[in-house]
Amino acid sequence: MQDIKSPERPRIAIGFFGITRSLKWTLPSIQKNIIKPAQELGATRLFAHLYLQDHIDNPRTGERQSLDPNDYHLLQCDEVELEKPGNCLNEANYDWVLSHGDAFFDQGKSLSNLIHQLHSLQQVGKMIDEWKPDVVILARPDLTYHDNLHDEIKKYIRQPKDYISIPNWQWFGGVNDRFAIGGRESCLAYTKRFNLIRTYLEKTGGPLPAERFLRYSLNHYGIIAKPMRVRASRIRSNGESAIENFSPISIGKYLKRTIESRIYNLTKKFRT
Hey, what CATH topology would domain 11-271 get? Spore Coat Polysaccharide Biosynthesis Protein SpsA; Chain A (3.90.550)
pTM of the model: 0.92
140 close to 164: Cβ distance less than 8 angstroms: no
Distance of alpha carbon 269 from alpha carbon 136, whole angstroms: 26
**Are the C-beta atoms of residues 4 and 125 closer than 8 Å to each other?**
no
pLDDT < 70: residue spans in the chain? 1-7, 59-60, 62-63, 268-272
pLDDT at 4: 44
Q: Residues 1-48: pLDDT tens digits?
A: 544 444 579 999 999 999 998 999 999 999 999 999 999 999 999 999
pLDDT of residue 270: 58
Q: What is the pLDDT of residue 163?
A: 93
| The pLDDT of residue 1 | 52
Q: What percent of the chain has pLDDT over 90?
A: 77
φ/ψ (deg, to 5) at 130: -65, -25
